[in-house]
Amino acid sequence: MYSEFKLKSVLRFWQELYCNSDFSRCARHELSIQGKPVPINLLPNGKTLAAKGGSR
């Protein structure tokens, strides 16, 4: 997700909470350590960004 989106101030919030803090509860990290593909629209909180805006 971080390489795809360019608004750094937005990403910083996610990084602080999930990457630099308790990354064990990051949904992206969880998939990654299982060796599974990580969708670009999966948020660290487990929600998925919908193409038409918002998350589900």
In angstroms, the CA 15 to CA 26 distance is: 10
Of the two residues 7 and 24, which places its CB atom closer to another protein in the complex?
7
25 lines the binding site for another protein (CB under 8 A): no
Nearest-angstrom CA–CA distance, 34 and 39: 14
Residue type, 35: G
Shortest Cβ 30–another protein spacing (Å) = 13
Contact residues for another protein, defined by CB under 8 A = 1, 3-10, 12-14, 17, 32-33, 35-41, 43, 45, 47, 49-55
